[in-house]
Amino acid sequence: MSKQKQTHLRGERGQRFTNQIRGLALEQIVCVSVDISKYFHVVMIHNALGEIITPTFEIDIFRSGFEQLCQAIDEAMAQTQAEVVLVGMEPTGHYFENLARHLHQREQPVTLINSYAVSRNRQQQMMRRQKTDPIDVAAIGDLLRRGEGTLFRPLEGLYLELQHLARARLSKSKIRTMLKNQIVGHLDRIFPGLILVGETAKQRYSPLFAVDFWRCQTLQCLVRVCPDPRQLAQMSPDHLRADFHARQVRLGPQTAHKIISYAQKVLWPDPELIAIRSELLQHDLILLDALTDRLGALEQRLCRLVQQTPYQIWTQIKGLGQTQVASLAAAIGDPSHYDYAKQVFRRSGLVSGRHDSGTRQKQGQGQPIIKAGDVYLRRALLNATETLLFHQPLLHLYYNQLKLNKPEMVARIATARRTLGILWAILRDQHSKSLLYKRGVSMPEL
């Protein structure tokens, strides 16, 4: 990320906005501020001086609401003889997307105003005595007329498909995690001590198998064959082995004897409780298998899509899997929408909180991350950085050097910024080895 000479107090964004309105009368710049909600939106129309043209009004989420908004904009333009119209809204969940797309198709540029900036701006003294909705829409309008926010550029085609598939995969992954936790809860009641979680428990007791439950094929088969310790304790090793072999899973005589002996030392729960929970367990296991298959299908589809984009070059980088690249590509979107990596990083919202004033230079220590950007991009970038730290030695060295005089979270964010800069250069040049940190390559100045 090269440093360019700054020509405006607010950097490139401020300069671009100044060029857009240069030479225009502020009274002829119409600002349309929209506070997005799930079932209705609040609108205020004003000029660049902050003078209200159309007081706040509500529109619904149907075609009638969009037509009402368009009519109000046209009337304001005619009234002020506007030369420029600015439309601003918060990127609230997915609720803003439909309205923003229709305005974009109307050739009405839409600016997305950062939610954190709106939250801070509405705390200004001049806005505190207004009602809740006017406070929000006035805060959005104040930022809009000052040129804050980023231009909305809707995704299309392959990138739109990639984005929604990646979000569906993430949602299914969360459901799978919840389902796994629920299954563990069943087993804690049916077969106490079968799953030992945490170092303290493993130090105190000897687990049936040292490997993690979700990675142990034998345990996965056991809870499907017979999770009831009462029944297991009465089985013969040959009987248990036959049940395993019927499911195409190998089980040796020593392992079978070990499982039966473990079941015999368990303090058996109530038989009725075991019967109820075993039924629930089997239903959840079937659901888990179906969910895992669905996730696998989504991941395969994502990987095929990534291969059709410039992002496929990232799959050649050691430490980045195809699914990880797909998640990061889906979160970033069309690379042609950006000029350099800084614009992508700004969208992530990964900014360390700072408390610098005069001689106090705390450099973010004790301050939280300002989570003001795209949660999907932030998550994907941090996950990619986490794995690259294990596979790129000098990137890990860079992180460790930062930690010597900076808080850990600040160092991690700075490393994420450096990581994105490297990835973006690889994407731009379509060369996977030119900028990777390798052993023996000198570390740049910090």
Which long-range contacts (C-beta less than 8 Å, at least 24 apart) are formed by 115-120?
115/90, 115/91, 115/372, 116/349, 116/370, 116/371, 116/372, 117/143, 117/148, 117/149, 117/372, 118/90, 118/143
178 and 240 assigned to the same domain: yes
Residue 442 in any domain: the answer is no
Q: Indicate if the pLDDT at residue 370 is higher than 60.
A: no
438 falls within a domain: no
Given this model, what pLDDT does residue 122 score?
A: 73
Question: Do 262 and 180 belong together in one domain?
Answer: yes
Residue-level pLDDT at 358:
38
Over residues 334-354, mean pLDDT: 80
Of 151, 176, 191, the residue that ends a domain is 151
- Name the pairing type of β-strands 84-89 and 29-36: parallel
* 370 belongs to a structural domain: yes
Domain boundary among 151, 182, 205: 151
Return d(Cα 322, Cα 335) in angstroms, integer: 18
Alpha-carbon distances of 434 from 25, 325, 424, 427, 437, rounded to whole Å: 50, 19, 12, 11, 9
With 80 as the cut, is the pLDDT of residue 445 above it?
Answer: no
pLDDT higher for 196 or 294? 294
Please give the average per-residue pLDDT across 151-180, as a whole number.
94
Please give the model's pTM, rounded to 2 decimal places.
Answer: 0.81
Read off the pLDDT of each residue in 267-289 and give the average, rounded to a whole number: 95
* C-alpha span between 192 and 186 (Å, rounded): 10
Q: What is the mean pLDDT of residues 101-116?
A: 87
Greater confidence (167 vs 114) lies with 167
Q: What is the gyration radius of the CA atoms in the chain, in angstroms?
A: 29
Do 93 and 17 reside in the same domain of the chain? yes
pLDDT score of 185: 95
Q: How many whole angstroms separate alpha carbon 33 and alpha carbon 125?
A: 20
CATH number of the domain at 279, please: 1.10.287
Closest CA to 159 of 7, 408, 335, 338: 335
Q: Is 181 in the same domain as 280?
A: yes
In total, how many domains does the chain have? 3
What is the predicted pLDDT for the residue at 126?
A: 54
Q: Which residues of 283-295 are buried (b: 16+ CB within 10 A; e: fewer)?
A: ebbeebeebeeeb
pLDDT attached to residue 346? 82
Residues 20 and 126 in one domain: yes
Average pLDDT (235-246) is 94
| Assigned domain for 374 exists | yes
Burial (0-12, 13-18, 19+ Cβ within 10 Å), 273: exposed
Per-position DSSP letters for 378-421, written without gaps between them: HHHHHHHHHHHHHH-HHHHHHHHHHHTTS-HHHHHHHHHHHHHH
CATH number, domain containing residue 78: 3.30.420.40
Does a structural domain hold residue 325?
yes
| CB neighbour burial string for 29-39, b if at least 16 within 10 angstroms, e if fewer | bbbbbbbbeee
Collect all residues with Cβ–Cβ distance below 8 Å to 23 and sequence separation of at least 6. none
**What is the average pLDDT across 31-37?**
93
Same domain, 52 and 73: yes
419 and 331 fall within a common domain: yes
For 253, the token pair is: 């005589």
Residues 6+ apart with CB under 8 A from 178: none
Closest CA to 227 of 206, 243, 246, 249: 243
Q: Average pLDDT in the 414-427 region?
A: 92
Condensed to tens digits (0 to 9), the pLDDT of residues 116-164 reads: 778 777 766 455 544 466 788 888 998 899 888 888 989 999 999 999 9
Q: What is the pLDDT of residue 128?
A: 52
Mean pLDDT (whole number) for 438-442: 44
* 3-class DSSP state of 120: helix
Q: What pLDDT does residue 2 have?
A: 44
pLDDT of res. 99 = 95
Could you tell me if residue 379 is inside a domain? yes
Q: In this predicted structure, what is the pLDDT of residue 132? A: 65
Q: What does the pLDDT read at residue 54? A: 93
Q: Which domain holds residue 89?
A: 11-151
Report which DSSP code applies to 430: T
Q: Which residues partner with 361 through β-bridges?
A: 356
pLDDT over 50 (residue 427): yes
| pLDDT-based confidence at residue 72 (cuts at 50, 70, 90) | very high
Lowest-confidence pick of 18-27, 231-240, 325-334, 347-356: 347-356
129 and 24, same structural domain?
yes
Same domain, 15 and 147: yes
The predicted structure's pLDDT at residue 443: 39
Q: What is the pLDDT of residue 357?
A: 37
Q: Residue 424: its pLDDT value, please?
A: 93
The two beta strands, 110-112 and 84-89, are: parallel
Q: Which has more pLDDT, 28 or 446?
A: 28
Domain stops at, among 128, 151, 174: 151
Return the structure tokens found at 230. 């009462």
Q: Is residue 358 part of a domain?
A: no
CA dihedral sign, ordered 326, 327, 333, 339: negative
Instruction: Identify the CA nearest to 27 among candidates 84, 108, 106.
Output: 84
pLDDT surpassing 50 at residue 248: yes
Burial group, residue 430, by CB count within 10 angstroms (0-12, 13-18, 19+): exposed
In terms of pLDDT, which residue wins out, 327 or 122? 327
> Which single residue is written with the structure tokens 């490139």?
12
Per-residue pLDDT band for 187 (boundaries 50, 70, 90) equals very high
